[in-house]
């Protein structure tokens, strides 16, 4: 099932339900049939999502480093696999633009 995020500040973002639910949980929201991230909630929501992205990236680097060390290989930290940062980017970009324009973001299933 798909979830559509809409805001007057940015083009709509469509993503799979499980990803939308995960990202909304990270910012303290629950996926319902419909919902909203109010413009006054946006700064805190952005900080929470950015922190989760950073935390996941650090954990991924640590795990990859351990894997490569145990196998006698060099680890290239610039070898980006994407992870949460790549999957969350469309919503995060919408949130940043909504914050700039003091706009809300709504979603629906």
Element of type H or E holding 13:
strand 10-16
Torsion angle defined by CA atoms of residues 74, 63, 51 and 83, in that order, rounded to the nearest 10 degrees = 80
The predicted-structure confidence for 58-107, as pLDDT tens digits, reads as follows 667 666 666 656 666 665 555 555 688 899 999 999 999 999 999 999 99
Sheet holding 10-16, edge to edge: 10-16, 2-7, 105-108, 34-37
Distance CA 3, CA 60 (A): 27
Rg for the chain (alpha carbons), in Å? 16
Amino acid 60: pLDDT: 72
CB-based contact 26:48 (threshold 8 Å): yes
Looking at residue 57, its pLDDT comes to 77
Q: Helix 83-100 crosses helix 42-70 at what angle (to 10 degrees)?
A: 160
* Residue 103 to residue 7: CA distance in whole angstroms: 7
For 14-60, the pLDDT digits (tens) are 999 999 999 999 999 999 999 999 999 999 999 999 999 999 876 67
What is the predicted pLDDT for the residue at 80? Answer: 53
């Amino acid at each position: 099932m798909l979830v559509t995020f809409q805001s007057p500040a940015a083009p709509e973002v469509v993503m799979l339900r499980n990803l939308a639910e995960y990202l909304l949980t990270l910012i303290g929201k629950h996926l319902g049939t419909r919902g909203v991230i109010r413009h006054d909630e946006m700064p805190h929501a952005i900080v929470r999502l950015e922190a989760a992205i950073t935390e996941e990236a650090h954990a991924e680097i640590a795990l990859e480093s351990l894997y490569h060390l145990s196998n006698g290989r060099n680890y290239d930290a610039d070898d980006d696999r994407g992870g949460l940062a790549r999957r969350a980017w469309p919503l995060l970009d919408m949130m940043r633009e909504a914050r700039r324009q003091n706009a809300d973001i709504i979603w629906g299933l």
